[in-house]
Amino acid sequence: MKYLLSLSILIFFLSCSVTPMPVHEQNTDPIIVPHDFFGIVHAGMNLANEEFQLLDEMNIVWILHTFNWHLIEREKGVFNFSRFDNFVNKSLQEGKKVFVTLAYSNHWVDKDTGKSKYIPERYIPDFLNYIEAIILHYGNKVSAWQIWNEPNFNIFWRGTDKEFYNLSRQTAQKIKEIAPEAYLIGGGFSGSPTSFILGMKRTGAIEHLDAISFHPYSLNPNWSMRVYDSFLRTMSKIDFKGEIVISEIGYPTGGWYPHRVTMRNLPSYVLKTIVGSASRGAKILLWFQFSDNYIEGEYPNKIDSELYFGLTYRDFTRKNGAWAYEICARYLPGSRYAPELPIRERISSSIVSFCFMNGRKGNTLILWNDVIGKQRIKISVGSSFSAHNISTGENNIFQDETFLEVSRVPIVITWEGSSAPKISSR
């Protein structure tokens, strides 16, 4: 789901270099962070009230799950949605939006082809029957439909590229025939596979899509944003006018993956990734994933990084990165990314700043020092302000024009009012 060995080795060597956080150059259109920007992968399936309460506390709107074909149509022609019905109904009851990935193959297909996650041309009508059944069953209970997951990796699609283009195109056509108003997402790409995307464009597989999704996994937030910028360039090449969705992004806190992160650095990675994505105009960001499958203090497998991607543990105890996510999810939605702000006076270029303005509904300024050490920065926002600790969720109130120490750990500053924020060294 996250890496092939070759990519892991490449990223390992990239780790030898340190690069600043790339700041996206805004186009002429203002970037507004959507009110439903924040989501999570793999939550809510056990229907626990405690889990949904925490989802609310963290301001999570979307929940993604894969509604596997083989789990819905175990017997050919007989569809059973009971495994997912309770989850969908509970999610809607709790005010969440359901994001469904449509995938993969089925046992009678696998038996014939000798491999899983592959649907040859002769079985596409069967796959489309599953698509029709699921769309008709759930209708507008599902707010977003994504076709497949990481088709550019052969662990998730084991046919040729052209075969996938054909499957994706026919699936998109079928969905729009049945439900023209459905929010339809294609891709779910791992990284930014330019040639694969160009192939989808040439074969008409993008024509019916409302959005294209991708997974900018990389060594750290800096490199993830470089993946994002590469993806934006590819979208420009194909002249795609729809929306961009991040349907997976995250960092494991254990295992062997080169992009594993220490618990100390997790909050910074979470915040920098979210801020970088929001400032680039993403429509939705889905964090992978909500919970680990063990409780704090347990280490069931020191090798398998897939076990350690959660923002919480199995008992819903938070990792510290959950606070960084919650702070972003509480203050960024509805605000405008303001690349012209803050006003900087005698500020070192190593001080990174992102500003999101929403007037009396609340403004947000994020600061960090991109090099080792601390710098004293005077914060001027025209009123008192709150400074938030992204590792604990705690905040302190300061009077305007107070000096704060800015280190490599980001500080989140929030305040109300229309005054343009200014930062200075004195």
Six token digits for residue 206 = 């993008």
- Structural domains counted in the chain: 2
Distance CA 255, CA 116 (A): 26
The four Cα atoms 248, 251, 256, 259 give a dihedral, to 10 degrees, of 100
Last residue of a domain, one of 274, 300, 334: 334
Q: 21, 225 in Cβ contact below 8 A?
A: yes
Residue 15 above 90 pLDDT?
Answer: no
CA-CA distances (angstroms) from residue 326 to 165, 257, 318, 416, 426? 37, 25, 11, 19, 32
Of 296, 314, 334, the position where a domain reaches its end is 334
User: Using alpha carbons only, what angle is made at residue 62 by residues 56 and 63, rounded to the nearest 5 degrees?
Assistant: 95
Residue 1 has a pLDDT of 55
Distance CA 77, CA 229 (A): 44
User: Final residue of a domain: which of 334, 369, 391?
Assistant: 334
| Least-confidence region, from 136-145, 273-282, 292-301, 372-381 | 292-301
Domain co-membership, 327 together with 347: no
264/348 same-domain check: no
What pLDDT was estimated at residue 336? 97
pLDDT of residue 20: 57
> pLDDT band for position 12 (50/70/90)?
very low
Distances in whole angstroms, Cα of residue 65 to Cα of each of 40, 132, 165: 9, 18, 23
Residues 251 and 226 in one domain: yes
Q: What is the pLDDT of residue 5?
A: 39
Task: Please report, for the domain that includes residue 420, its CATH number.
Answer: 2.60.40
> What tokens appear for 24 in the block?
């996206």
Torsion region of 317: left, alpha or beta (phi above 0 gives left; psi -120 to 50 gives alpha): beta
- Burial (CB < 10 A; 0-12, 13-18, 19+), residue 334, is middle
Instruction: Check pLDDT > 80 for residue 344.
Output: yes
58/307 Cα distance (integer angstroms): 21
> Both 387 and 317 in a single domain?
no
* SS3 at position 308: helix
Report the predicted TM-score, pTM, of the whole model to 2 decimal places. 0.95
CATH number of the domain where residue 98 is located:
3.20.20.80
Rounded to an integer, the average pLDDT of 308-332 is 97
For the residues of 198-233, what is the DSSP string, one character each?
HHHHHTTTTTT-SEEEEE---SSHHHHHHHHHHHHH
316: left (phi over 0), alpha (psi -120 to 50) or beta: left
Q: For 15-24, 133-142, 220-229, 344-353, which range has the lowest pLDDT when averaged over its residues? A: 15-24
Cα–Cα dist 224/215, whole Å: 9
Same-domain status, 177 and 257? yes
**21 and 160 assigned to the same domain:** yes
For 240-275, what is each residue's pLDDT tens digit? Answer: 999 999 999 999 999 999 999 999 999 999 999 999
Give pLDDT tens digits for 386-414: 999 999 999 999 999 999 999 999 999 99
319 and 404 part of one domain: no
Report residue 281 as tokens. Answer: 């105009």
Nearest to 269 by CA among 221, 232, 303: 221
Q: Say yes or no: 190 and 315 in one domain.
A: yes
- Gap between the Cα atoms of 3 and 54, Å rounded: 29
**Same domain, residue pair 273 and 401:** no
Handedness of CA 385, 390, 391, 394 (dihedral sign): positive
Angle at 300 between CA 45 and CA 157, to 5 degrees: 55
Mean pLDDT over 221-229 rounds to 97
| Residue 157 shares a structural domain with residue 68 | yes
Task: Measure Cα distances from 234 to 72, 198, 216, 273, 400 in Å.
Answer: 35, 8, 14, 20, 43
Same domain, 323 and 349: no
Which residues span the domain enclosing 71?
A: 5-334
Cα–Cα distance between 20 and 300 in angstroms, integer?
A: 35
Quick one: pLDDT at residue 26?
A: 53
* 286 and 382 housed in the same domain: no
Q: Is the pLDDT of residue 188 over 80?
A: yes
* Predicted pLDDT of residue 120: 97
